[in-house]
Structure 1
Amino acid sequence: MDKTRRAARAAGSADPEDPGFPAHRAPACRTLAGLDAEVVECRACPRLVAWREEVAAVKRAAFRDEEYWGRPVPGFGPSDAALAIVGLAPAAHGANRTGRMFTGDPSGDVLFAVLHEVGLASRPESAHAGDGMRLRGVRMAAPVRCAPPQNRPTPLERDTCRPWLAAELGLLGPGLRTVVVLGAFGWQALFPVLESAGWSVPRPRPKFGHAVRVTLAGAADGRGPLNVLGCYHPSRRNTATGRLTRAMLADVFREAARLSGL
């Protein structure tokens, strides 16, 4: 048994040789719709499965009359997006409740308001998956698709989930020009994903910082250069302390829109 399989079993994760493991299922997807359908059925990480389902059953008092999603959360946005937004993972009572990325929690409230301000979202508020929200040229995704306890997925869970995001970015095709990464965890998780998807990543890997910009050389399959922008995560803590202001967030997305031709 190789090191990866031993680590997976020790952590209570699915065996990577299992046909249901993301490493086998994600590369076989030929469309984003097909990928999304596969993502929501994933049960590769037992700890995350148990937590997301417990949260969906117990619920928060404010949402006790709602039916929680309680499954992995697929990407959100058009299949020809030129700009991708990559966060960390679904919030327990946000996307794990609503079934849509960044929807139903304070971080999403700030993010969608800014996207609407700069012309990338049809509405300033994102309450639930059926509210009519549309993104213009933008696709939202995350390196981890299940809500993790204390918002902290393990490195193994992050790596197990990686093929979903690599496949998603690959399926966006040559039109993808920019990725905005929200937070240091997402930044660290993204560059191995980009390597898996075919882009050339410099060594040492670029350091995270707000408004940091890195341009990667085109992928081997003919896709052009990719701009990667760092941005502080719009968490309640960052916005309440002023570490990230709405103006700072808007500046990043205006630059991302410009680089993406949006």
Structure 2
Amino acid sequence: MDDTEPDRGADHDDRGYPARHAPRCSGLGELDALVTRCRACPRLVAWREEVAEVKRAAFQDEEYWGRPVPGFGPADATVAVVGLAPAAHGGNRTGRMFTGDAAGDFLFAALHDVGIASQPSSVHPGDGLTLRGVRLTSPVHCAPPANKPTPGERDTCRAWLSAELDLLSPGLRVVVALGGFGWQALLPVLDEAGWRVPRPRPVFGHGAHAVLPATERRQELHLLGSYHPSRRNTFTGRLTMPMLVDVLREAAALGGLPAGRSVAP
């Protein structure tokens, strides 16, 4: 992360920090830098920093990131994958979205199978992993206790996701929501960002597919749903690898990404 980006004052602890600064970002690099400095939600700040200090026994020798985790993927992505929030000992440890935990391992294996990730695992930011045409992000950028952000925390963080989708919008064709939380968080964001969400609002489910028609500001957007690749869902078989690959393959096709099973680093 580039800490030379403009700091824009010392209001990181203000709950209005995301809404005040996110819409003014002119690029994803600037947005990501501001995300990592956010301290707008006291409960999340306390939790992520406590986890980073106490650590899990298996990672005692590692220095945890312990800050908000920005999105990961190219600025010209045509597909966005939206999860829930960073894992306490995953993204909160490594500083990269979906990196260093079981859910991320499952997701990257599927992305690699589809041909839009250069390798089937994501261990740390320096592992050589690259993505093609897809960006990973979440409605909440800090690890929450028990993996459950509050509605207020979700709403405070919403400005970051809205700005991110806006910056991606020139090429964005598809958004994949991993889980009901991501789906429900996305709908008002898409409304705010200038897309027309159908009424009644689309209902989440694995394999759900809603088409948001083009508007004066936005081109047509496909919204796809998948169960979240949480350990609970994958262990119980609620979500299998073929199920996730099918959704991601559909997203890649709708996003105009070439089919294949590998990406050159």
TM-score by length of 2: 0.91
Is 1:171 paired with 2:167? yes
Which letter maps to 1:181? A
Is 1:252 paired with 2:247? yes
Hey, what does 1:89 align to over in structure 2? Answer: 85
Is 1:142 paired with 2:138? yes
Hey, what does 2:68 align to over in structure 1? Answer: 72
Hey, what does 2:236 align to over in structure 1? Answer: 241
CA distance in 1, matches of 2:179, 2:146: 16
Distance 1:117 1:127, change over 3 A: same
Q: Which residue of the other structure, out of 111, 135, 138, is the alignment partner of 1:115? A: 111
- Alignment RMSD: 1.0
Q: Which residue of the other structure, out of 195, 198, 203, is the alignment partner of 1:202? A: 198
> Contact between 2:15 and 2:156, CA under 8 Å: does it hold in 1?
no
Structure 2 unaligned blocks of 5 or more: 1-12, 258-265
Cα distance, 1:219 vs. partner? Answer: 4.0
Distance 1:240 1:34, change over 3 A: same
Hey, what does 1:130 align to over in structure 2? Answer: 126
> Contact between 1:77 and 1:138, CA under 8 Å: does it hold in 2?
yes
Hey, what does 1:8 align to over in structure 2? Answer: none
Hey, what does 1:3 align to over in structure 2? Answer: none
CA distance in 1, matches of 2:136, 2:29: 14
Hey, what does 1:9 align to over in structure 2? Answer: none
Hey, what does 2:55 align to over in structure 1? Answer: 59
CA distance in 1, matches of 2:70, 2:121: 19
CA deviations 1:162-209 (Å, max 9, x no partner) are 000000000013210001100000000001111111111122211100
Structure 1 unaligned blocks of 5 or more: 1-12
Which letter maps to 1:52? R
Is 1:216 paired with 2:212? yes
CA deviations 1:64-122 (Å, max 9, x no partner) are 00000000000000000000000000000000000000000000000001100110100
Q: Percent identity?
A: 69
> Contact between 1:14 and 1:46, CA under 8 Å: does it hold in 2?
no
Higher helix share: 1
CA distance in 1, matches of 2:32, 2:214: 26
Is 1:225 paired with 2:225? no
